[in-house]
Structure 1
Amino acid sequence: MLRYFFENHLINISQKHPQNWQEAIRVSGEVMKANNLVTDKYIDQVIEDVKQYGPYIVIVPGVAMPHSQADSSGVLGTGIGLTIFEQPVSFDQNDPEKDAQLFFMLAAKDNATHMKNIANLSNLLMEDGMIEDLCHVKNLTDYQQVMAKHDESKEKSR
């Protein structure tokens, strides 16, 4: 899946630190907009969902999965974008478990594909050391090294 982000130009290694989680979601949506997968309307809906339901998109400490309903009119295509921030972004000042540095924005035109993308992403994040390795990425060269490392470990486990 790391190769998917790389080959489809769906990686954003952000050099700026967002002022808040809303800005972080907007920044994470930029790579999706650049690839014609979502519009600002979808990104606004993701932000509204978090305001309404709380930081449910922080799936494990360090990782957020911004998404909204598959039938959102702001979804133009199906895909996942990865944005890596230099520092974690807080969704709840009182709960460091709700900080995220890796933002995997999902968009899908149907629920079945949406669920498949969530499953694929979950599998990626369960790989030993994956989250920590991605949190240390500062540029595309670092990303390629992480990609090579995890490709190699998959080959060894076969």
Structure 2
Amino acid sequence: MLSEFLKGNSNFIDKVSSWEESIVIASQPLIEKAYIELEYIQAMIENVRVNGSYIVIVPEIAMPHATTDKGVNKTSMSFLKLNEPVIFPGNHEVKLLFVLATEDNTTHLELLSDLSSILIEEEIKEMLKSAKNEEELVRVIKMVEE
């Protein structure tokens, strides 16, 4: 399921100037497809400003998200890989961002759970960090899904 969400929704870039910019760029494929509104990006950024870097779920990996009523048009997910880490509040380095946008809380929890179960495995995290393009990213996710 995760691999299907990520097809056509991934970016691989060298670096960003701020953690806010990382969320904006990570969300761009979803904005372009009208799956989310700009309001959703602002809500994700505000979440971090108010609640801290709770979205950094494991070292170097963040899952920006906001509540389902903040401009989600279609359940979706996007991915951003940075070659150079960006620093989130609390001095958390992040290289991988998985943006979650869901229309309801049940789907939100299912996607969080699916992604969390993948990221528990150290080998999978390393493979994701070394992915050079969307094809490699999807291949790694599909390995785990099968």
Give the TM-score normalised by the residue count of structure 2. 0.87
**Could you tell me how far apart the structure 2 residues matched to 1:104 and 1:154 are?**
17
1:9 matched to 2:3? The reply is no
For residue 56 of structure 1, what is the aligned residue in structure 2? Answer: 54
Alpha-carbon deviation of 1:134? Answer: 1.1
CA distance, structure 2, for counterparts of residue 121 and residue 145 of structure 1: 15
| Cα displacement (A) at 1:5 | 4.1
Report sequence identity in percent. Answer: 33
Checking the alignment, whether the CA contact within 8 Å between 1:55 and 1:91 is kept in structure 2 is yes
RMSD over aligned Cα, in angstroms? 2.1
Equivalent in 78, 81, 91 of residue 81 of structure 1: 78
Q: Distance in 2 between matches of 1:12 and 1:121?
A: 18
For residues 2 and 87 of structure 1, do their structure 2 counterparts lie closer, same or farther at Cα, with a shift above 3 Å needed? farther
Q: Residue 37 and residue 141 in structure 1: after superposition, are their counterparts in 2 closer, same or farther (change >3 A)? A: closer
Corresponding position: 1:134 with 2:128: yes
Write out per-residue CA displacement over residues 30-82 of structure 1, whole angstroms, 9 at most, x where no aligned residue. 0221232211110011111111111111111110000001121x111101111
The amino acid that maps onto 1:28 is A
2:110 aligned partner: 116
* Matched residue, 1:34: 32
Alpha-carbon distance in structure 2 between the residues aligned to 1:114 and 1:77: 12
- In structure 2, runs of 5+ residues without a counterpart are none
How far did 1:83 drift?
1.2
Which structure 1 segments of 5+ residues have no match? none
Question: What is the rounded CA distance, in whole Å, between the counterparts of 1:115 and 1:146 in structure 2?
Answer: 22
Query: The residue matched to 2:26 in structure 1 has which SS?
Result: helix
Residues 101-152 of structure 1: per-residue CA shift (max 9 Å, x gap)? 11000011111111111111111212341111111122345436645xx62x
Separation in 2, partners of 1:135, 1:19: 20
Aligned structure 1 segments of 4 or more residues deviating by more than 3 angstroms:
140-147
Question: Taking structure 1 as reference, are residues 63 and 37 closer, same or farther at Cα in structure 2, changes over 3 Å only?
Answer: same
Question: Is the contact between residue 5 and residue 11 of structure 1 (CA under 8 Å) also seen in structure 2?
Answer: no
Please say which structure displays the higher CA radius of gyration.
1
